[in-house]
Amino acid sequence: HVLVVDFGAQYAQLIARRVREAKVYSEIVPHTMPVAQIAAKSPDAIILSGGPQSVNADGAPQVDPALFELGVPVFGICYGFQAMAAALGGEVARTGQSEYGRTPTVVDAGGVLLDDLPRSFSSWMSHGDSVTRAPEGFVTLAHTATTPIAAFEDVDRKLAGVQWHPEVLHSEHGRQILAQFLYDVAGLTPDWTPANIVEESIAAIRAQVGDKQVLCALSGGVDSAVAATLVHRAIGDQLTCAFVDHGLLRKGEREQVKKDFVEITGIKLVVADAEEQFLAALSGVTDPETKRKIIGREFIRVFEQTVRDIADEADIEFLVQGTLYPDVVESGGGEGAANIKSHHNVGGLPDDLQFTLIEPLRALFKDEVRAVGEELGLPHDMVWRQPFPGPGLGIRIIGEVTRERLDLLRDADAIAREELAKSGLEKEVWQFPVVLLADVRSVGVQGDGRTYGHPIVLRPVTSEDAMTADWSRLPYDLLEKISTRITNEVAEVNRVVVDVTSKPPGTIEWE
Ligand code: XMP
């Protein structure tokens, strides 16, 4: 496997995904991890990511030269390229020649890294400093108009680096360059495939569970469906699934889950009706993180109760969660990343939690989960369903969550979903939150009179993995249809607005 050392830019996850797209397993580690600890993970290769700082700035993260003594192949990208040069005795300086965006790049000597590439192509750059002298033993492979050393390698030590970002799509041949590092410089084998992931997960689940009983929370989403199916494959009838109706679901969702899941997989399913309990717990609460914590807490409590109700309590020892790798990284995951949001499937568990967690998707990105779902033979519709947050509509009502507001939002959301499906553009949209600004009032004129109602926000986004996102350019006709229907059919709503913010700086959800 490959370790991606994160120097704090947005790019580490993207690099990790690209490596996996090249069928090599990768994990992200913080740049603060000591070399001994990195060595203990026995990586087959290391990639140093980009980062926002200048290598020469006070307190800027450095690479411990001992890293290069491990005999492990290392690839430096942008900041990682410069940090590598500095650590090995080369020179990095502010030349006054910055490059941002698409940059014509010329290959001098292909070497192993840039073998088989065209002599010139366009690469995506973002740097103020440059490598002004390569370390001893390195051959310079490419240059640009202002950067004489834009790529280098030392074939004997299996070290290489590039100034640009091969992981971003705007860099031509980026995938090929990463692949050539992985296969040709580092000598790795592409064996991270859905079939292998399934096989390894099943073996790991069997080893963890033994002959114990397992409970799984189905949410209706792709992640829990795939997690449950994996566990079911591994241990069969030792698995019972439970579905919590927390009252924060979309219209018709509960019926859908029952129908789809039980009919398709034959898994044992229990439905817990907990709407009252959740609404009572959420009463008067407006702070998003508090909502998440409460929903997470109640969720676990309902599970505990469900366990008592359905089984001999002592028997159930494990709880399956559909936690994904980006949740782990964003929530800190023990790897030192900032806590951006306490996603309820990672944080917020009560201290008296009685279950040991099984998280079969903890190492996977969303696209990998879908590939695994397909590999497991789940229906296409289920595998490609849009993601929906665990706290459901609870974090799509800005303000207090009440049943009346939920009903209102459910109606608006159903209209948006229905019209999107009719338009045939579902595949273009990663996710389509519909948000009720319950604490905001807007004036309208509907029928004969002035109304004082609430705005609804449409937030359709395109994304590859929810880490970054862009607002969807939905056709005006479709937006108009949705707007007209919502304002006509949903009482209290007299305004529909479209969110045109990318992520960053926004997030996909409003809370
Ligand atoms: P943001 O809003 O951070 O969302 O851009 C990224 C992705 O995560 C989903 N999301 C959540 N999922 N519990 C979840 O299970 C949560 O608390 C939560 N908050 C956001 C969001 O829908 C998007 O897919």
pLDDT of residue 449: 86
What end-to-end distance do the CA atoms of the chain give, in Å?
A: 36
Which of 343, 369, 470 maximizes ligand 1 atoms within 8 Å of its Cβ, making it the mutation to test the pocket? 343
pLDDT of residue 118: 96
Q: How far is the CA of 306 from the centre of ligand 1 (A)?
A: 26
Q: Residue 260: pLDDT band by 50, 70, 90 thresholds? A: confident
Q: Residue 368: pLDDT band by 50, 70, 90 thresholds? A: very high
Cβ of 390 less than 6 Å from ligand 1:
yes
Task: Give the SS3 label for residue 218.
Answer: strand
Q: How far is the CA of 178 from the centre of ligand 1 (A)?
A: 30
pLDDT digits (tens, 9 = 90+) for 372-407: 999 998 888 788 888 899 899 999 999 999 999 999
The percentage of residues in the chain with a pLDDT greater than 70, rounded to a whole number, is 94
* Site of tokens 């790795």: 188
Average pLDDT (280-295) is 97
Q: How far is the CA of 19 from the centre of ligand 1 (A)?
A: 24
ipTM: 0.98
pLDDT of residue 158: 97
Q: How far is the CA of 58 from the centre of ligand 1 (A)?
A: 36
Top CATH class, 396-498: alpha beta
Top CATH class, 194-383: alpha beta
Q: What would the CATH number be for the domain defined by 2-185?
A: 3.40.50.880
pLDDT digits (tens, 9 = 90+) for 307-359: 778 765 557 889 898 888 888 877 654 433 333 333 334 344 445 546 788 99
Give 258-261 contacts, CB < 8 A, sequence gap 24+. 260/379, 260/382, 261/218, 261/225, 261/228
Mean pLDDT, the chain, whole residue set: 90
Smallest CA separation from ligand 1 atom 12, residue:
389
Question: What tokens were used for 494?
Answer: 């007299």
Catalytic residues: 78, 165, 167
Q: How far is the CA of 389 from the centre of ligand 1 (A)?
A: 5
Cβ of 507 less than 6 Å from ligand 1:
yes
428: amino acid identity, one letter: E
Q: Indicate if 194-383 has the same CATH topology as 2-185.
A: yes
Cβ of 495 less than 6 Å from ligand 1:
no
Q: Residue 267: pLDDT band by 50, 70, 90 thresholds? A: confident
Q: Please say whether the beta carbons of 444 and 450 come within 8 A.
A: yes
pLDDT digits (tens, 9 = 90+) for 46-62: 999 998 888 999 989 99
pLDDT of residue 338: 33
Cβ of 13 less than 6 Å from ligand 1:
no
Average pLDDT (191-197) is 95
The percentage of residues in the chain with a pLDDT greater than 90, rounded to a whole number, is 70
pLDDT digits (tens, 9 = 90+) for 488-500: 999 999 999 999 9
pLDDT of residue 430: 93
pLDDT digits (tens, 9 = 90+) for 415-434: 999 999 999 999 899 999 99
pTM of the model: 0.73
Tell me the CA distances in angstroms from 193 to 21, 47, 243, 362, one per residue in order.
Answer: 9, 21, 30, 16
What's the CA gap between 297 and 201, in Å, rounded? 28
What's the CA gap between 509 and 390, in Å, rounded? 12
Cβ of 165 less than 6 Å from ligand 1:
no
**Domain spans in the chain, listed from the N-terminal domain onward:** 2-185, 194-383, 396-498
pLDDT of residue 95: 86
Say whether pLDDT at 38 is over 80: yes
pLDDT digits (tens, 9 = 90+) for 439-493: 999 999 988 789 999 999 999 999 987 888 999 999 999 999 999 999 999 999 9
Cβ of 341 less than 6 Å from ligand 1:
yes
Q: Residue 201: pLDDT band by 50, 70, 90 thresholds? A: very high
Average pLDDT (294-308) is 85
Cβ of 431 less than 6 Å from ligand 1:
yes
DSSP per position, 7-41: -SSTHHHHHHHHHHHTT--EEEEETTS-HHHHHHT
pLDDT of residue 112: 96
Say whether pLDDT at 185 is over 50: yes
